[in-house]
Amino acid sequence: MGTSQQSAIERSRERDAELARWVRDARRKTLEVVSDLSDEQLVGPQLRIVNPLLWEIGHVAWFQEKWALRHAGGAAPVRADGDSLYDSAAIPHDVRWSLPLPSRAETLAYMTAVRDRVLERIERGNLTEQDRYFVTLGVFHEDMHTEAFTYTRQTHGWRAPAFSGLEPLRAGEPGPLEADAEIPGGRFLLGAGREEPFVFDNEKWAHAVGVQPFAIARAPVTQAEFLEFVEGRGYARREFWSELGWGWRESAGAEHPVYWKREAAGRWLRRHFDTWVPLERHRPVLHVNWWEAEAYCRWAGRRLPTEAEWEVAASAVPGDSGKELAERKRRFPWGDEAPGPERANLGWRAMGTVDVGALSGGDSAFGCRQMIGNVWEWTASDFEPYPGFEVDPYREYSQPWFSTHMVLRGGAWPTQPRLLRNTWRNFYTPDRRDVWAGFRTCRA
Query: Domain extents for the chain?
Result: 3-156, 171-444
Where residue 5 falls among pLDDT bands split at 50, 70, 90? low
The C-alpha atoms of residue 57 and residue 382 are separated, in whole angstroms, by: 30
**Nearest C-alpha neighbor of 287 from the set 273, 304, 305:** 273
Strand partners, 376: 437
Please enumerate in sequence order all residues whose Cβ is within 8 A of that of 95, keeping only pairs 6 or more positions apart, or say none: none
The C-alpha atoms of residue 115 and residue 64 are separated, in whole angstroms, by: 8
The C-alpha atoms of residue 7 and residue 22 are separated, in whole angstroms, by: 23
For 184-289, list the strands marked E by DSSP.
186-190, 207-211, 214-217, 260-262, 268-272, 275-278
pLDDT given for residue 330 in this prediction: 98
Least trusted range by pLDDT, from 54-63, 120-129, 130-139: 120-129
pLDDT given for residue 10 in this prediction: 81
pLDDT given for residue 103 in this prediction: 98
Where residue 258 falls among pLDDT bands split at 50, 70, 90? very high
pLDDT given for residue 3 in this prediction: 64
Most confident region among 121-125, 155-159, 193-197 by mean pLDDT: 155-159
The C-alpha atoms of residue 312 and residue 191 are separated, in whole angstroms, by: 10
pLDDT given for residue 7 in this prediction: 67
pLDDT given for residue 68 in this prediction: 98
Residue 236 has, within 13 A of its CA and on its CB side, a CA count of 4
319-365 pLDDT, tens digit each = 988 889 998 999 999 999 999 999 999 999 999 999 999 999 999 99
Where residue 15 falls among pLDDT bands split at 50, 70, 90? very high
Yes or no: say if 357 and 396 are a contact pair by the CB < 8 Å rule. Answer: no
204-219 pLDDT, tens digit each = 999 999 999 999 999 9
171-444 has which fold?
Answer: paralog of FGE (formylglycine-generating enzyme) (3.90.1580)
For residue 397, pLDDT beyond 70: yes
Read off the pLDDT of each residue in 150-166 and give the average, rounded to a whole number: 96
**Nearest C-alpha neighbor of 162 from the set 308, 288, 438, 348:** 348
34-53 pLDDT, tens digit each = 999 999 999 999 999 999 99
Read off the pLDDT of each residue in 314-320 and give the average, rounded to a whole number: 94
Where residue 6 falls among pLDDT bands split at 50, 70, 90? low
The C-alpha atoms of residue 21 and residue 15 are separated, in whole angstroms, by: 10
Where residue 250 falls among pLDDT bands split at 50, 70, 90? very high
For residue 8, pLDDT beyond 80: no
3-156 has which fold?
Answer: Four Helix Bundle (Hemerythrin (Met), subunit A) (1.20.120)
218-241 pLDDT, tens digit each = 999 999 999 999 999 999 999 999
**Nearest C-alpha neighbor of 324 from the set 210, 423, 216, 218:** 210
Where residue 64 falls among pLDDT bands split at 50, 70, 90? very high
pLDDT given for residue 1 in this prediction: 55
Work out whether the CA dihedral 144, 149, 153, 156 comes out positive or negative.
positive
For residue 375, pLDDT beyond 60: yes
Q: To the nearest whole number, what is the mean pLDDT of the chain?
A: 96
Burial of residue 251, with CB atoms counted within 10 A of its CB: 0-12 exposed, 13-18 middle, 19 or more buried: exposed
